[in-house]
């Protein structure tokens, strides 16, 4: 039985973080909190990510289990905005500023710094790749200048445009992307005119039912590694229609991904 349910928005922005940045509404998640692990998936039809969460005890330390499902009802292997929402909510519920969360067998540390919630992931290696020729078919006459892959053939393809290119003007690739790759597509560009380590990104995965994601923590984990030769800390504006503001710090063995969460009281049922 659901003990608590609420609508949270992850990776929202505050005014003045990046000059000229539009206010970011973040990525919504319907978070269900249970007293024990649920036995089934959430009911379909919410049209947004749904996440189940529950407390566990491991070696006398509390751990919060999390399972997230896409709007289409598919189990998500690594849901950054769902993990961030669960960490934010349970830190307050358990009155802890440091808390481990677990998703699909992976343990992720979380903590608070002011109004920012942070998650720590193991580093994910990116490998340089030639720019695929088919990208010109997808995006037209302004192809990217560099590319890299991360993970397996169902992992990620990162494509980088020159500094200052506004990715908001890119067309969505749509279903044609599945004709060329099984990888989710992460588009990125640096914007030094906005500040040190400020980048843009967009995330497309129509092969997996996501034409364009609003704010993608798992993509930020990859970009932290990709940009690490140039930047050790990132402030990333995901220029989706709703917009997201994501933060990262890169270290040799891990990547920290951070963002602000807001509880939507109009959609909460505590």
Per-residue pLDDT reduced to its tens digit, 43-59: 877 789 999 999 987 77
The residue assigned the tokens 């892959």 is 149
More confident call, 270 vs 109:
109
Which tens digit of pLDDT belongs to each residue from 78-136? 999 999 999 999 999 999 999 999 999 999 999 999 999 999 999 999 999 999 999 98
Examine the pLDDT at 244 and tell me if it is beyond 50: yes
Domain ranges of the chain: 2-112+261-269, 126-256
pLDDT at 20 over 60: no
The Cα 69–Cα 49 span in angstroms is: 6
- Residues 66 and 105: their CA atoms lie apart, in Å, by 10
On the question of pLDDT at 242 being above 60, the answer is: yes
Task: Give the model's pLDDT for residue 269.
Answer: 40
Q: Is 104 helix (H, G, I), strand (E, B) or coil?
A: coil
> How is the chain split among helix, strand and coil, in percent rounded to 5?
15, 45, 40
- Among the four given CATH numbers 3.40.50.10300, 3.40.50.2300, 3.10.310.10, 3.40.50.970, the one describing domain 2-112+261-269: 3.10.310.10
Average pLDDT, the chain: 91
Given the candidates 3.30.1360.100, 3.10.310.10, 3.30.1490.20, 3.40.605.10, the CATH classification of the domain at 126-256 is 3.10.310.10
Structure letter (DSSP) for residue 92:
H
* Cα dihedral 72→74→80→86 (10° resolution): 90
Decide if 2-112+261-269 and 126-256 have a common fold: yes
SS3 268: strand
Grade residue 143 by pLDDT with cuts at 50, 70 and 90: confident
How far, in whole angstroms, is CA 168 from its chain's centroid? 18
- pLDDT average, residue stretch 73-79: 90
Taking the alpha carbons at both ends of the chain, their separation in whole angstroms is: 13
């Amino acid at each position: 039985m659901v003990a608590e349910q609420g609508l949270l928005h992850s990776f929202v922005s505050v005014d003045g973080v990046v000059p000229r940045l539009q206010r970011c509404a973040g990525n919504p998640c319907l978070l269900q909190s249970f007293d024990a692990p649920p036995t089934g998936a959430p009911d379909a039809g919410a049209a947004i990510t749904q996440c189940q969460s529950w407390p566990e005890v491991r070696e006398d330390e509390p751990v919060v289990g999390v399972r997230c499902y896409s709007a289409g009802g598919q189990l998500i292997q690594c849901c950054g905005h769902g993990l961030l929402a669960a960490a934010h909510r349970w830190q307050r519920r358990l009155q802890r500023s440091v808390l481990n969360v677990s998703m699909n067998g992976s343990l992720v540390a979380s903590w608070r710094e002011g109004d920012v919630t942070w998650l720590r992931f193991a580093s994910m290696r990116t490998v340089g790749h030639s720019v695929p020729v088919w990208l010109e078919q997808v995006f037209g006459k302004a192809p990217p200048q560099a590319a890299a892959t991360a993970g397996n053939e169902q992992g990620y393809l990162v494509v980088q445009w020159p500094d200052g290119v506004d990715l908001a003007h890119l067309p969505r690739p749509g279903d044609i992307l599945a004709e060329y790759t099984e990888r989710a597509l992460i588009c990125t560009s640096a914007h030094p005119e906005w500040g040190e380590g400020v980048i843009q990104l967009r995330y497309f995965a129509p092969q997996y039912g996501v034409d364009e994601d609003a704010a993608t923590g798992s993509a930020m984990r990859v970009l932290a590694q990709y940009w690490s030769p140039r930047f050790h800390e990132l402030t990333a504006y995901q220029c989706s229609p709703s917009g997201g503001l994501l933060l990262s710090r890169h270290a040799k063995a891990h990547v920290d991904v951070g963002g602000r969460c807001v509880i939507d009281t109009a959609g909460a049922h505590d």
